[in-house]
Structure 1
Amino acid sequence: MIPFRIFALLILAIGLACGPAHADRRVALVIGNSAYKSAPKLGNPVNDATLVGGMFKKAGFDSVDVRLDLSASEMRRMLREFAGRTRDADMAVIYYAGHGIELEGTNYLIPIDATLETDGDVLDETIPVERALFAVEPAKQLRLIILDACRDNPFSKTMKRTLASRAIGRGLAKVEPTSPNTMIAFAAKAGSTASDGDSRNSPFAVALVEHLPKPGLDLRKA
């Protein structure tokens, strides 16, 4: 789960002064990948993205782009377009739900058309988390990446290793952003996987929407 310090900052960042007087420009990109072509379909990410995207809209974000079941080329295009919108934004958020993989300490987001037959395919068929960090970097005040991508990953069990010693982790690796005012929130701690739960939404997505403040709530007094 998210460390308390990060979760508290996340609440303040999204909910602070959501009322009519709020002047900062806030933009969000929400991606949910469920319909994987070379792995069993995930039940929740599309629902989670829809839920979280609705929360951002209710919070009064100036731009909320919700995209579902994206291929690698579509994910790259959406990140490129979002980077353009962050140039005049004070706060930028990317939420991703779907499969992710960690290869030798680097985290990657997995599009629905990835096959990942070998570990080398990770470099060609997935999107490094650093690409998402690059997309939010122009925001002037705060940059957030929320990764609901720590599910048990079937690709890591079946892909062939070009080197026997090459490390493919369980869950995602811990990342410490080097840019100021930048945070990454994970659905599970480093090296662990998160549960999808038994309902239409993951426990992580439900917790985010439940605990983030309602529109108009000023958390400066919270």
Structure 2
Amino acid sequence: TGDLKNTLFLGFDRFGQQLAAINNIGESFSWEFINQKFLRELKLQSGEYSGSRSVIHSASASKGSDNFVVGLQEVFIPKGGLQPGRQPERRNMLIAYDWTTGQEKKRVALHYRSDGLAMGPTASTLFYYSRDSKNIFVVNLDKGEVNESVSVDERPSSISLSDDGSILAVGTVSGMIYLYEVVRNNPAEIRIINPTINRNYGEQLVQGSVVTVEGKIDGTDRMSQVLINDQKAELNPDGSFKATVNLVPGKNRVRVAAQNTQSQVISKDLYLNSEPAQQKSSATEHVKQYNKRIALVIGNGDYTATSKLKNTLNDAKAMTATLRGLGFDVTTIENGNYETIKNAIYAFGDRIQDVDVSLFFYAGHGIEVDGANYLVPVDADIQSHLDVKQKCIPLSGVSNTMEFANDEGLNMIILDACRNNPFPAGKRGGTGLARINAPSGTLIAYATDPGSVASDGDGTNGLYTGELIKQLKISQRIEDIFMHTRNNVEQLSGGKQRPWEEARLKGIFYLK
């Protein structure tokens, strides 16, 4: 596996199942660490100048993305050769790589060498410091640029970001530690709450000639006033605002302008189509907001090393048809092995960035080990709790993917994954799945309550999925869909199976 002297970076992939090591000359190695299986070796280098040498000074990875980033310095002999008394030239840069393939995805030129990195709180944001500067720099990987910097009184020597991405800690050469609050949505941004604007088309149909425009100024700037079509709006201390706007028949442009205490102005236009007032159901209005819908559906039944399940493939097919009828673009995996499921989740994360609704559905064996939930691929041969951690898909990898990729939309995770415990008798592992906290904007639905086993059903579908599909075809709030499903399943099972949900939704949602 090569020479791992001077290891500079150790990190795990988003599923916590692969370990990567990078040394200071750009040699990268990765393993499945539980069974110590070697996966790949990469050479990380710039290659921008002929005959150059790349020296790695820092590296970091993010739990919610497929990237790892290295800070390197490329040393090369300038054109015309090295002149007496001159040193080789150096170029500083950051390079982002794909974790799975090792392919370069982005490079960012830097003025100062990167001696320490911390990725987050988003997949495209990172912080770095240089021992040649008393600043912490903020980099936007998507734009490929250094956005801003924060001055530190002393030269930094280490940097770390808290798990929730809210606090940045900076250690200095004298032993001092500085803590910084990480503030997102800065500078200020205007967010319209009512009327709800379709994210795909930027306009909304309004019944009648008058509309109440409500919104909020996100960010840390203190605002002095908000004008809507040049009329002063009601502005509250928390940044929320409201005003009544008169409309003419047809298309109207409504301009919202906010001025901060430094007289800087930001503005946002919204377009409203005014039609004569008529009776319209609130459900239809809510459904119109969520046009872009992506789903990943997985059904596992033909297990090679544990008991087969008769209805999970039927569940996946029925759920696929139901979701497509609701306007979802659905990818379906039947009898997925470990690599197939993991790659499907990676691709799912790429597709759901900035969608309105993302949905993950899994029917098959599921298991809890040491408080963590795992989805069992059809090729998993489980003989110990270590096999579960290495050969199964951690649910945290799915939730992290959805939280980071679609942090502004509605995310749903539906798990009919507690059919029985495939773990051998006498081995570690709980019956059913454990409770986890849903991230903001997410609903996680379980076929049965923590530690219990769900029915595979007597008909063509599992009991839970069969009832859920019936409710999805009825126009009702998302919360009501799962409440009615839960009630029906409890009644049909005689109270033996009790579905439950963990939800942190940001509003009222309809799918139909």
Aligned residue for 1:88, secondary structure, equals coil
Instruction: Name the CA shift for 1:218/1:22 in 2 (closer, same or farther; >3 Å).
Output: farther
More strand by share: 2
Match of 1:30 among 280, 284, 297: 297
Q: 2: distance between equivalents of 1:40 and 1:135?
A: 29
Q: CA deviation at 1:67?
A: 1.1
State the shift of 1:135 in Å.
2.4
- For residue 473 of structure 2, the aligned residue among 198, 202, 213 is 213
1:111-190 to structure 2, matched below 5 A, reads 111-137=377-403, 138-139=405-406, 140-154=408-422, 156-158=423-425, 161=427, 167-177=428-438, 179-190=439-450
Which residue number in structure 2 is paired with residue 82 of structure 1?
A: 348
- Whichever structure has more helix as a proportion of its residues is 1
Instruction: Select the residue among 171, 190, 198 that pairs with 2:458.
Output: 198
Displacement, 1:18? 9.0
What secondary structure sits across from 2:411 in the alignment? strand
TM (norm. structure 2) is 0.36
Q: In structure 2, do the counterparts of structure 1 residues 120 and 18 end up closer, same or farther at CA, with 3 Å as the change threshold?
A: farther
CA shift, 1:23, in A, is 4.8
1:17 offset after TM fit, Å?
Answer: 4.0
Q: How many residues align?
A: 196
Gaps of 5+ in 1: 1-15, 162-166
- TM-score, structure 1 as length reference: 0.81
Deviations 1:81-140 (A, max 9, x none): 000001131211100000011001100000000001111111110000011112222222
**Secondary structure, counterpart of 2:360 in structure 1:** strand
Structure 2 match to 1:65: 331
Q: Which has the higher contact order (CA 8 A, sep 6+)?
A: 1
Report the Cα distance in structure 2 between the residues aligned to 1:19 and 1:132, rounded to whole angstroms. 27
Letter in 2 for 1:57: R
1:59 positional shift? 0.6
Question: Structure 1 residues 98, 18: closer, same or farther in 2, change over 3 A?
Answer: farther
Once superposed, what is the RMSD of the aligned Cα atoms?
2.2
Deviation at 1:19, TM superposition (A): 9.4
4+ residue stretches of structure 1 with deviation over 3 A? Answer: 16-24, 217-220
CA distance in 1, matches of 2:288, 2:441: 23
Distance 1:73 1:213, change over 3 A: same
Contact 2:383 2:424 in 1 (8 A): no
CA displacement at 1:24 relative to structure 2: 3.2
| 1:51 corresponding residue in structure 2 | 318
